[in-house]
Structure 1
Amino acid sequence: MKHTLTFWAKRCALMLLLSLSAAFVKAQAPIVVEQGFGPATVVITATTGSSDACITYANPTDQSNNIGQNKTFSIASITGLSGSITYSWSIEGGATIVGSTTGTSVTVKPTIQTNRFNKARLYLNYTGTKKESVPNPCPPYTGNIDVDVATAGQVFVDLYQKFEYIDPIVGEACIEKDKTYAFSIRDMVSGNINLGIGTDIYTWNTTSIDLVGNQPYASGDNSAIAFDFTSSINGGEQIFVQVGKCNSTSIAHTFGKNLPVAEYEIDNYLAGCIPTSVGQIHITNSMKTGIVYRWELGNSNYTFASGSNTNSQDGITVNIGTEGGTIYLYSKADPAGSDYCTSAASGEIVEVIQIKRSLDEGVTLSGPTCVHPGTYNYALTPNVNTPLNWELPYGWTIDGANQNASNVSITVAEDADFGVISISTTTCPGDEIDVNVYVRPDELGEISTANVCLTNGSTAEVVFSVDEVNHTTGYVWTLPAGWNFKSGTATDAAEITVIPNGTNGGTVSVYAQGNCANSNTASIEIKLTPTTPGTIARDPSGCINKGLEDVVTFTVTNDPNATSYTWDLGGSGTGSSTANSIVVTTSGTGGPYVVKVRANNSCGSSADRTSVVSFAGNGTVNITRTDLIIGGTKIGEKLEADIVASSTYQWFRDGVFITNGRAIDIFDPEDPTPHDYCVVVTSNTSGCITRTCIQSGYNFRVGSSDEANAKVTVYPNPAANNVNVGITNTFKSASITVYALNGAVVYKSATSNVITPVDLSQLENGMYFVAVDVDGDKTMHKVQVTK
């Protein structure tokens, strides 16, 4: 039975050993048994040095001096086991075991690992027996029996670093408000090792500093942290860091008094937008003891009007023209002595003063406001030498790279819209200049229609159209007088339908209406085919003279569609005209004549209008010529017109009236030039006039020689009682004979004198002829006797 119990006891003990699960136990404070498994409760204490789980490095900054302080850990108690117990110690991470690894205690020494696993985990493995109560396996016995069961377990303790010396915090000593700064300390505590040793924490804290968020700040295993400073540092403030779990003393970093940014004021322009009409500004700054200042002009066109780059209490006056730019105000601690500091490498901090420019009311935009598509120049007047924002309507673009200048070239596209050009400075966008701009309608092409020639009298619909153009608000059409748009159709479209009146053509015109101007006007001339002229009227309508330089006017009613007329006078006279009337010089005979006329235009010609005309008058009047002979010598001619009843006669020589009467006698032996003699016969009943002309064929030198005429003179002429006959050349014999107009001899005498007086005292007033015969050469001289 004992054997049986022993057998089952061993067998049951083995089963119990295999069925044990891990247990979580803790040692006595301050050392915590972090984790383990097995049936025992283990208490581990530090028996040398501090009674905690901290292991100390002598100098962690010097890895060549790999000396740490030994520390011994012992098993204070172990419960839950019986019989003989064995112990085995091991360690991982930043420490090593010095001496024995078995027994109830172990000594460890910290080491610096190149892989930064500078924490350590100390393991204790144990074996032993444990009493277990199990059911009695041997019937008929009942109840439980105690058996010894072999068991094993493990616990571990995490060891953390403690340093005799910790490096100072690295970071700025001079900081500025509203900036972010990074601070760090040497990476002293380690990250986790593979077995998961707990985290060493860097804990940061501050005094008298306003930071973003709450404090303290934990950066875990990260030895660096960044802070946003929301207030200025006045000097003496500190930032602290506590390193890891075993270093209770914080490292402090003290800040100096940061150099403040200079404070300035631009006189009269606190808003910062200076009108472009202001060419000079004055800037003052608040000067503080212990700080020195200097100025720089960031625009090469800026100049000092007063002051200089070295600041004075009165500040500076700067010529700024119309340009924006920057002015720099530098501050630094006075080299002669100051409690200010700065983190700037140059030792200076700078306040950048932006000179912003705004457009005042005196600035205007020059350039066309009503344009065709194309490229145009726009400029601000006066010139504003500051960057500008140009806002343009759709389809308007600034050419070139200089998009912000005050003088730009703008291209207007074919599909551009009208709208507003808005200009403002890039720094003061509220100072806007707005100019309305428009795009003119494109040029209209020709008007199209089916036929420019319409049938006279037709009122059929006619369609007119032009190609549509851009930038128009509608089309304005003008129709000939009496024409109308077709009812119900558009009158302002590019295509219209109209109803002509059938009686006249005219001009159809159209232009495209625009927002700022209209397009060119396109026109087309519409004509009607001409109608046949009406009755031909003549003026005068009664008696028309014959043989005179008289005229008659033929007229037809004007057709407004006709542009010319073609006349055929049919031999009635001469004349030329393309109008609806013609002035005709008559042919001198009565007719009848067939006169024709037709109307013309570019659409064609009408049919001829024919009229038969005859001229009234006195018929044909002839002139009869009869020679006048005196003493066998022809001395003139007698011209006699035909007899016309109840008529009067007038005679004209070369167009000059000479006498009345049906017949005239003409004597002109002294004038060798022929003359035109005309008689004008006027009917006392009808008023008709006939003119007939004849040229005198009398050669007044017949019977006389030039030599004889050269020898003889008769004077005075006219004479009262006598005349003298002078013979200038030597002669042998001469005779003188005086004739009346009827051929009677009233005086005759021979003479041998150079001058011979001839007595005419007995003759009546009138015309007489003196014939002189000198050596056979005869001359005839007309003498007028007037008493």
Structure 2
Amino acid sequence: MRRTITQLKKGLLFVAAILLTSTQLNAATYTAILSGAFSNTATWSGGIVPPLQLQLGDDVIIPSGITISLDQNLEIASSSTLDVDGALTGGTGYALILTSGTLSGTGSIDVDSFSAAFTSGFSFTGNLTTNAFHSTNANINSAATIVVDNTLYLSGGTMTMAAGSLALSNNATIVVDGGVITLSGGSANLANTYHVMYKGATSTAGIELSGSGLTNITINTNSGQEVKLSNNLTINGDLTLTMGALNLNNNNLTFSANGDLAASGSGTITSSSGSDITINASGGLSGTLRFTSGGNTVNNFTLNLGSGTATVMVNGDLMISGNLNLQQGRLNIAANKLELDANATVSGGSANSFVITGTGGTLSLNLNTGTTKTFHIGTNNDYAPIMIKSNSGSVNTRMNIGVNADVKANGTTGASAGATQPLVNATWFVASSAAAGVDVDMTVMWSSNMEVNSFDRTKAYISHYVNGKWDAYASAAATMSGSMYSMTRAGVNSFSPFAVFDENTTLSVDEIAANLAVNIYPNPANDVINISVTGNNTNMNAEIYNVSGQVVYKAAVQNNSSINISNLPDGMYYIKLNGQTANGTQKFIKQ
């Protein structure tokens, strides 16, 4: 039996030797003798064109002084060799594919596409230029000069620059789809303008984000996947969050003056208390900051936009553990909450930089006994801050405050009182986390352009919507500081909507609704205004006032009648109507 097995082994070895010898005997050397097309028989010694896939042991030689034009794909596989001491060029759509074997020589290669899936065998020391470089475990271990004109694909494994140099042409793109690039003796020149796109599964950012020429970044991973930063990141172009998440991973994110967030996409940012976000974008951000659920905490958040009206939008609640620095520009949190931790601080804040709270949005700050906090909030158009002073004996609490550019007849709903009533056209929504024991002084601030319907700031007061109505309070003259006016209400211990009225403001919901039944048109008007009211109003008394409060017209009028105003000087006027079922004052412009 042993003799039989021994004889069988000898037989198998003999067959293997025969097959190997046969393969080696079939291997060929192809030497270019003239410049020309790769597929042209005249190009090659003996008129024999190399196969499209080089076989085991095949050797293709392009000597110095010879230029071969690649007019078909060429694959170097098995133990074959392509030796380029001359030049190999390629037309559009043709690829040089190196899956194994050897690429050697000192000449130049300029092809449309170069695919590299090897860990050894690259000994080429010339110039390699390609429109697209596809890397799957490409190991560059010789002093080649590689230039990628359009796209570097990192499609899996590691592209190792053990030697040589890699450079990107202007506006080239690195596509990361399961691969990484490392430097271990070689170099990468990323000074030209270039872009990076992430696709596929979760990846950790590498040197592709470290170049001085980095401009646009696109995150387009599979759903639920992310790109983790390994260093701080500055956006100098567009950050596009198409899908997936950008995980700051305790690094900082900065938008430079030229940086922007694209409006398209559904991707998010994942942050924690170890990361800062700084936005210096000149025009604000085109897109909305979206944070991953559970990843919406930032240490320091700095807003320093190019103008006081530039805006950054936030879609979702945001927590700040360190500092909110409002230098310039507006932070629009819409209907969300911007919450500062108990020990967090606020820097800056002014008419040039504040938080837009929107409908239902709030800025949330801790308020301890004996302290004063200023909430730098406003509407889409106006800065309307509020200062809360905690009086002695007041309990510690968290104040949640927002402001809207309107005053509703019943606090949060109903007719708009700002359409007819003299008031500051804003409502401050104030809430406390403590159910009882809070005692504060409240100071609201506004600018003159928020005042409507001949509001008299010398006889003003803060009204509180409580027990189903707006209450009355002792009036006083507003305090002026710079371009802002302010009014204080002391000893506030219950919370809901607050607004600023004067002594002439109508508090009745029914009367406010009646005012809205009056329609004056056209507005602005040149010579004639028309009167239209709802309800049974046959005869009415009309009075027209100028902005100084002087009556400039008075007469009995009927519904759907007209008044000639051609003799009035151009400017703003108020018409007051008293009828059977509709009473109201409307503003109009004579021009």
> What's the TM-score bracket when you normalise by the shorter of the two chains?
under 0.3
Larger % of helix: which? 2
TM-score by length of 1: 0.16
Larger-gyration structure (1/2): 1
TM-score by length of 2: 0.20
